[in-house]
């Protein structure tokens, strides 16, 4: 069964709220070991936090599948050499780069917290793409804006990635796409939003 948009936001919010506990559970002697544990969690979309587990895979698999069908790869980058999308999501690709450069360093919560926030930034960008699926799109966009505020609140790394959900909508669709048909449909959808949200999308585009 498909997950309603509001329920999906609730599940993601649970993960955002317990990020400090997630990071605390990644304790390891080296940064490489800690990153390895975080990599496994990102790939599974499943996180352990203070005796509970946060399961996001059903949401992400469902929403990513719908978004790919429309021509957008929010979570995966394009490899121009192999002419296909990378097998791992973008946050894991960045994590692997850091592990290769600094894997032997002592573990630090700072890098882990920023990478976890970077993961959630992509999840929120994916949610922003699905605001038209069910319910009222403008209200759904505000739900994602609430999640953006939580992502950049006291439970996170303190690193700001985006000002609002409208910016994430543009960031998520800024990758190279071999099939460009999705952009026209996205533009049509944005035009169904209220004037305030359309203006916010336009301002985000100018900032980018």
Q: What is the pLDDT of residue 45?
A: 98
Name the strand (E) or helix (H) holding 11.
helix 5-17
Of 174, 182, 178, the C-alpha closest to 204 is 174
Q: What is the pLDDT of residue 80?
A: 87
Residues 6+ apart with CB under 8 A from 131: 5, 137, 140, 141, 144
Q: What is the mean pLDDT of residues 40-67?
A: 96
- Predicted confidence at residue 74, as pLDDT, reads 97
Band of residue 137 on the pLDDT scale cut at 50, 70, 90 = very high
pLDDT > 90? residue 147? yes
- pTM of the predicted model, to two decimals? 0.96
pLDDT at 208 over 80: no
The model's pLDDT over 64-79, given as tens digits with 9 standing for 90+, comes to: 999 999 999 999 999 8
């Amino acid at each position: 069964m498909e997950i309603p948009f509001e329920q999906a936001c609730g599940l993601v919010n649970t993960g955002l709220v317990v990020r400090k506990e997630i990071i605390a559970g990644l304790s390891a002697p080296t940064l490489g070991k800690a990153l390895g544990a975080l990599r496994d969690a990102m790939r599974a979309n499943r996180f352990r936090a203070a005796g509970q587990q946060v399961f996001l895979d059903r949401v992400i698999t469902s929403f990513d599948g719908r978004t790919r069908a429309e021509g957008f790869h929010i979570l995966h980058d394009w490899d121009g050499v192999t002419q296909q999308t990378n097998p791992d999501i973008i946050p894991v690709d960045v994590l692997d780069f850091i592990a290769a450069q600094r894997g032997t360093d002592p573990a630090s919560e700072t890098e882990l917290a920023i990478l976890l926030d970077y993961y959630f930034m992509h999840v929120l960008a994916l949610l922003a793409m699905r605001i038209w699926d069910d319910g009222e799109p403008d209200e759904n966009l505000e739900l994602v804006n609430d999640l953006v505020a939580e992502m950049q609140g006291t439970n996170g790394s303190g690193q700001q990635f985006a000002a609002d959900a409208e910016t994430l909508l543009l960031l998520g669709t800024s990758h190279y796409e071999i099939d460009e048909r999705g952009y026209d449909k996205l533009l049509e959808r944005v035009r169904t939003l209220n004037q305030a949200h359309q203006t916010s999308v336009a301002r985000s585009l100018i900032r980018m």
